[in-house]
Amino acid sequence: MNQDLRRERDSASFNPELLTHILDGGAERTRRRREIEALVLNDPDFQHEDLNFLSRSQRYEEAIRKSALMVVKLRENGIADPDEIYWFKSCIHRGRPEPLDLHLGMFLPTLLTQATLEQQDRFFMPAWNLEIIGTYAQTEMGHGTHLRGLETTATYDPATQEFILNSPTVTSIKWWPGGLGKTSNHAIVLAQLYTQGQCKGLHAFIVPIRQFGTHEPLPGITVGDIGPKFGYDEMDNGYLKMDNFRIPRENMLMKYAKVEPDGTYVKPVSDKLTYGTMVFIRSHIVGDSARSLSRACTIAIRYSSVRHQSELKPGDPEPQILDYQTQQYKLFPLLATAYAFHFVGAYMKTTYHRITGDINQGDLSELPELHALSAGLKAFTSWTANAGIEECRMACGGHGYSRCSGLPDIYVTFTPSCTYEGENTVMMLQTARFLIKSYTQVSSGKLVSGMVAYLNDLSGQRIQPQQVAARPTTVHINDPASLVEAYKLRASRFVEVAAKNLQAELSHRKSQEDAWNRTSVDLVRASEAHCHYVVVKLFTTQLSEINDAAVHAVMKNLCLLYALYGISKHTGDFLQAGILTDAQVTQVYQRVKELLAAIRPNAVALVDAFDFHDNHLGSVLGRYDGNIYENMFEWAKKSPLNKTEVHEAFHKHLKPMQAKL
């Protein structure tokens, strides 16, 4: 064990194990998670050489090998709980994507939520047993987030009781679905439904794409891999072109909308019921933002404790770089953010399950807010985590750029979440639509509930923005609950400003769409302010549930740092709205620096509490034992370029050139 890390751990003011229990949702869940991880770590079948040294084709094959084994071993070990499957899978693939991700994460859940019982009987067990391997084909080359623009068609033919699936243009080719290129033999395809000469909008269809047994593409199907990407080397993101490909009528997912044998269309109770899979994945991305940022913080903070550089005082030994206030200012707000996002992710997960239960009982009242919240928080957390992971990499200096640090891998694996499952700016505008609708309700005298209840404090259209700004409020900067109020006022003001600007644009122009576009920067700011408020609120709420005094004290410091750092980065908002005074802003800056010093002794213990095994972390710089330099040298020696002392390129190119000159 590195002496610096040992000293850091010995001087912590709290027991990290207790915090791990809070993050896992209880001591029993921590025990069970570690038990499942041990099954993987102690299994020789899951050991492999460093993936950084493999080609893309080798990485894909290795991922398939482990995924196939994973399915078998899940059954052997009787692991069926979704959380336990997730732990097992994450440990095997070490946080990287794998070709069965969409089968497990979207194909199976969509069958459960959108297929009829008869369809589940037909498709679910074969899919559960991986005779059917599925993906979810929504995105096309020409359209992603704008679903109404998708061009793939499914035209019903009552004579044969079949749907004819077609990719009419080059832009309509399905493009990007994970596992589509080489792995899947079925896809849930989103297509514009045409029946009785009318387009009924987007619906989902189960489409076989490869032959059972031979795995060859079926006639009328063109399918393949889209080529190398920024990351995701293990994943065969694919393309799918369908040429008048016929499927039985019963392959349309018909739990909600139906097409009768004669072609009559039966519409669903609510067009929002099919949002289930989307909302589920977006909620999951919030948790993923927390996990990815936590991994990056763990690496950067451990490395900063082991790395010594420069001099604070001439003649003194070189200090740990974590002792520099500037390094703390880079890393500790990100550490606070990782914890904040963890609690938000847990909230989203429980809210999703609760509201899904309500929907199954026929209560759709909370669905609009869930949809808006999952869209906004998906964008807010992924944008922040994405920038934070890169900040952690740069905080590790030159060594952070090496793949041995693990940070480039975390970044390229996480960054697509800013664009998949809904491009983030579009997600923010979806949240804004809900905020404006809620504001309009309040203006007409109705009350709103849930996370937008703060809009009820606005007493209708009488209040002008400058009057809102003058509302008296005393913010106590050491009280998290008071900071929640400050963020609430900021969100309230931004929603109101956006709504009034939208109204002003509408009065100048006739078109709703034009007015919306001309106000969209304000609308995104309103959504960001709303999401920021929600995160501060949920982090603060979590504090009241922490019983251990020492853990509570350190988490309160993190919560304060998260809230105050956010204010320090948006001081103009709080000043302009009259929420804080100049003097208070000065206090905020000072308090942030004090909190950095307060958190410093516990920094290593706080990342230890995330409880990432070295295998999962995949980082030489972030090793638990801190022995980075000797291991960095060992890692470098394994580079394929070092297999021979003299590379063949010397004899082929350099030596002939030297002979000529």
| Catalytic residue ranges | 421
Helix (H, G, I), strand (E, B) or coil at 190: strand
Task: Tell me how far apart the alpha carbons of residues 311 and 164 are, in angstroms, rounded to a whole number.
Answer: 72
For 364-388, what is the HEC assignment? CCCHHHHHHHHHHHHHHHHHHHHHH
Q: How many CA atoms lie within 13 A of 537 on its CB side?
A: 18
Q: What token pair was written down for 501?
A: 């600007």
Task: Judge whether 543 and 556 are in contact, CB under 8 Å.
Answer: yes
Query: What DSSP designation does 652 have?
Result: I
Residue 137: in which H helix or E strand, if any? strand 134-137
Amino acid code (one letter) for 61: E
Question: What distance lies between CA 338 and its chain's CA centroid?
Answer: 12
3-state secondary structure 594-639: HHHHHHHHHHHHHHHCCCCCHHHHCCCCCCCCCCHHHHHHHHHHCC
Q: Is 462 exposed, middle or buried (0-12, 13-18, 19+ CB in 10 A)?
A: exposed
Please state the three-class secondary structure of 199-261 as a single string.
EEEEEEEEEECECCCCCCECCCEEEEECCCCCCCCCCCCEEEEECCEEEEHHHECCCCCEECC
191: part of which helix (H) or strand (E)?
A: strand 186-195
The CA distance from 331 to 336, in Å, is 9
Residue 230 in tokens: 């920024």
Tokens of 22: 């809070």
What is the H or E stretch that residue 654 is in?
none
Question: Half-sphere exposure (CA, 13 Å, Cβ side) for 300?
Answer: 31
Range 62-65, long-range pairs (CB < 8 A, 24+ positions): 62/234, 63/93, 63/96, 63/97, 63/98, 63/99, 63/234, 63/235, 64/99, 64/183
Write the DSSP symbol of residue 332: H
Half-sphere exposure of 594 (CA within 13 A, CB side): 11
Torsion of CA 627, 630, 631, 634, to 10 degrees: -170
User: Would you call 184 helix, strand, or coil by DSSP?
Assistant: coil
DSSP 401-431: GSGGGSHHHHHHHHGGGGTTTS-HHHHHHHH
Residue 570, token pair as written in the block:
């948006």
At residue 210, what are phi and psi to the nearest 5 degrees?
A: -130, 150
Which among 184, 185, 187, 209 has a CA at the least distance from the CA of 139? 187
Check the CA dihedral 469-472-477-482 and report its sign. Answer: negative
Name the CA radius of gyration of the chain, rounded. Answer: 27
Q: Which of 285, 339, 330 is nearest to 610 (CA)?
A: 339
| DSSP secondary structure letter of residue 478 | T
461, 504 Cβ separation under 8 angstroms: no
In the block, tokens 């906004």 appear at 376
